[in-house]
Amino acid sequence: MTTAQGPLSGLRVLDLSIIVAGGTASSLLADFGAEVVKIERPGTGDPLRNWGPFANGVSLWWKVHSRNKKSITLNLGVPEGQNLLKELAAKTDILIEGFRPGAMERWGLGPDDLQAVNPKLVMLRYSGFGQSGPYKDRPGFGTIAECMSGFVGMTGFQDTPPVLPPIPLADEIAGVFGAMAGMMALYHRDASINSSAKGQVVDVSLFEPLFRLCIPHITMFDMLGINRERVGNDFPDAAPRSLYKTADNQWLGLSATSQSTFEGLAKAMGMEDLLERTEFKDNAARLENRESLNDELNSWLGQRNLKETMDQLIPAGGVVGPVYDAAQIMEDPHFHSRQDIIDIDDPELGQTKMLGVVPKFSETPGAVEHAGPKVGEHNRHIYSSWLGLDEEKLTELNRQGTI
């Protein structure tokens, strides 16, 4: 067994979470060298395995999301399974769980129980609304988090309903925040001037990370009474920034939200007259007259094809880019040059491509060594190498349904 080499080589992570959020945190850690052991329910495994689309009967979500991880099975609802988890936790740096608040405590696996066997343990706890507050016992998926964070309410156009993101955005952002928070907690534990610093519990809800990224909105409402509304593809606080259709029916993203960038854009387009017009003289004026400014840009861009537009604007400093689909991404040489698309040889899928590792480290880059494993594929390896269990004991645990 090998583990991807990277800045986290030597770090041990137990991932008890299900679906996306906690798995995103552990996936990021695994990409950069942590030994991540995914604990799954015996027989069925993580529900993410049931998310399509499927290739050769295998979930592609699972294959990408659980790459570099090792899979073991463990029944946490029985005493022997709970004891085994404590033994594993004693040898772990970060434990990630995503059960409803109180579930781990009912199993005798709450923070006090686990930190009793490993005071240095960092515990990431994922839930819809957090471990405290009046909503803590509500069921919560990312969709509800996206709605209640304020994000969905300002997404879409004024004359259309709010729009949900087409990816599990709240879960994935919570995963990023969790990975970051876990490393912060480890830094405190290992680099603190207090040599007796312990691990700690990190409470990660699904709604708060996305809420945190809606940066000034609460302050704007408090100070100015501004309640952010839907503005389509425009940016409410600076202009121009939107999507525009070119003559060959391609969509182009354009942003010129600083004064110097707008002036450069106007010159690159040969439309210096825009700079002479008072309604476009600065950002405040452009916001007030955003519709007429977009009409000017749409008129110019609608007479040129995408390649012509890019070739004219980019050399002059224009901040523009095409709206890609997956096929166009696959053809773009920049993605390949940056190793953002990599090839994996998987025993179930064969040769396949998936996302590369980001960001890029100069000295300790991460790597993808294998795609998501089969249910319990690493039972023998982890239980024997971590806990010293022999074949006879593993057979008995399997017969009992503990693993």
For residue 126, the cross-strand partners are 204
Contact 136, 207 (CB under 8 A): no
For the chain, what is the largest distance between any 2 Cα atoms, rounded to a whole number of angstroms? Answer: 84
Q: Which of 112, 298, 119, 88 is nearest to 199 (CA)?
A: 119
Q: Under DSSP, is residue 29 helix (H, G, I), strand (E, B) or coil?
A: helix
Given the residues 15, 46, 93, 171, the one annotated as active site: 171
Secondary structure of the chain: what % helix, strand, coil (to 5)? 40, 15, 45
Q: Which of 64, 62, 70 is nearest to 14 (CA)?
A: 70
- Is residue 322 exposed (0-12), middle (13-18) or buried (19+ Cβ within 10 Å)? middle
Active site residue 248: no
Contact 109, 81 (CB under 8 A): no
Cα–Cα distances in angstroms (integers) from residue 185 to residues 99, 120, 180, 203, in the given order: 21, 10, 9, 12
Half-sphere exposure of 8 (CA within 13 A, CB side): 27
- Between helices 379-387 and 79-89, what is the axis angle to 10°? 60
Phi-psi region of 191 (alpha: psi -120 to 50; beta: other; left: phi over 0): alpha
Look at strands 201-205 and 94-97 and give their pairing: unpaired
Cα–Cα distances in angstroms (integers) from residue 150 to residues 59, 276, 278, in the given order: 31, 38, 35
Distance CA 236, CA 239 (A): 8
Half-sphere exposure of 141 (CA within 13 A, CB side): 7
The residue count for the chain: 403
Q: Which residues are catalytic?
A: 171
